Amino acid sequence: MEASMTDQGYAGAGPQAPVSLPEIRMAYRGEGGDLFFIVLKNVFLTLITLGIYSAWGKTARRAYMWKQVDIGGERLEYTGTGKELFFGYLKVALGYLVLFGIPAVVTKIAKPVGTVLQVLGFLGLMIILPYAVYWSRRYLLSRTRWRGIRFGLAGDAGQFAKLWIGNWFLTIITLGIYGPVFANKIYGAIINNTRYGDASFSYDGRDGDAFKIGIKGFLLSVVTLGIYSFWYRAEMQRFRLSHIRFDRAVGTIDITGGLIFKLTMVNLLLNGLTLGLAFPWTATYTLKTVLERVRFLGAIDFARVGQRAVVGDAAGDGLAGALGVELGL
């Protein structure tokens, strides 16, 4: 963090010494027991309030988990509120009523008209889906701070939706072959629009490289009856992180297929045997294991990063949750 660049490399490195890049390490400091009591409280209060408390429960869980994420010795902070999330849920419920409730009533009166309205509602939902992804990410980032500076998501949701729909269509007509390129373009669009204050992240992973990894992963997964899929996921994660840049630093993750296989089995077995009660511990174990392998290598001048106004509507988060397309942080 404190090393400085010279014409010969980083200051302090001798002529024959290997260059040691400054780095920012990540870690998760939470405990499964603490998360368990938060989840238990959320479930109880959600039940006795007939679901109303769910917005506050989700906010409490996020606030705890964000605070446990350690980046270079500083913790993340979640500033969202249950109230804004609750009103976001109400907006989503109203949208669902328009898209599906009204057509259902019309169907009982005039079935052909109602059926057409239901089909149109479903198509509308497919069009809204990429907006939900983008709006949800924008809300989460706008409510996340590190060292007092907020994250944010710039760009236009409409442009993102056009990118999503066009590449989704190509994936459909190519029977999934175009899928790795589709995923890479979407990932790149999200990262390239991500901001920390007034500083930008960037992603330079090439579609062709992602395509090669995807095709190899698909073929070997078929041959190995799915076993290679864990190694495919690891390679894709390493590829993506290695192409994320911030200032002069680049991301890296030390993860293998064997580790992802282990984490998957631990989660499946423990959550299955305990009917989900082990989730707080398995989630904590997974986060600790993965985040300690993530680093950013290279110089970052945080003194030059300034605050920037950000926006984010909780309705986007609620919509993404309802559609099952939350990206998470």
pLDDT at residue 77 tops 80: yes
**In the chain, what percentage of residues exceed pLDDT 70?**
89
**Mapping DSSP to helix (H, G, I), strand (E, B) and coil, where does residue 298 land?**
coil
The pLDDT value recorded for residue 214 is 96
Q: What is the residue whose two structure tokens read 């290695």?
A: 242
Q: Distance between CA 271 and CA 278 in Å, rounded?
A: 5
Site of tokens 């992603």: 203
Q: Side-chain half-sphere of 214: how many Cα atoms within 13 Å?
A: 17
Q: How far apart are CA 199 and CA 306, in angstroms?
A: 8
The answer, yes or no, to whether residue 95 has pLDDT greater than 70, is yes
d(Cα 275, Cα 269) in Å, to the nearest integer? 10
Beta carbons of 139 and 174 less than 8 angstroms apart: no
Q: 2: pLDDT confidence band, cut at 50, 70 and 90?
A: very low
221-261 residue pLDDT tens: 999 999 999 999 999 999 999 999 999 999 999 999 999 99
How high is the pLDDT of residue 7? 33
Q: What is the pLDDT of residues 141-194, one digit of tens each?
A: 999 999 999 999 998 999 999 999 999 999 999 999 999 999 999 999 999 999
Rg (CA), the chain: 22
Q: What is the pLDDT of residues 255-289, one digit of tens each?
A: 999 999 999 999 999 999 999 999 999 999 999 99
Separation of alpha carbons 269 and 320, rounded Å:
28
What's the rounded mean pLDDT across residues 46-55? 94
pLDDT of residue 317 exceeding 90: no
Tell the residue number behind the tokens 């917005």, with chain if given.
55
What are the pLDDT digits (tens) for 3-17? Answer: 333 333 333 334 444
Indicate the helix (H) or strand (E) that contains 196. strand 194-196
Residue with tokens 């409510």: 143
- pLDDT of amino acid 123: 76
Average of pLDDT values for 193-209? Answer: 96
d(CA 252, CA 91): 39
What pLDDT score was predicted for residue 218?
95
- Output the average pLDDT for the chain: 88
Return phi, psi of residue 310, to 5°.
-130, 155
The span from the first CA to the last CA of the chain, in angstroms, equals: 24
| Residue 112 confidence (pLDDT) | 75
The answer to whether the beta carbons of residues 311 and 142 sit under 8 Å apart is yes
Question: Which tokens go with 225?
Answer: 């009856």
Task: Dig out the tokens for 47 from the structure.
Answer: 């039940």
Nearest to 192 by CA among 181, 180, 204: 204
Confidence at residue 213, expressed as pLDDT on a 0 to 100 scale: 97
Cα-based torsion angle of the residue sequence 84, 88, 94, 100 in order, rounded to the nearest 10 degrees: -160
Q: 3-7, 14-18, 101-105, 292-296: lowest mean pLDDT where?
A: 3-7
From CA 82, how far away is CA 163, in angstroms rounded? 32
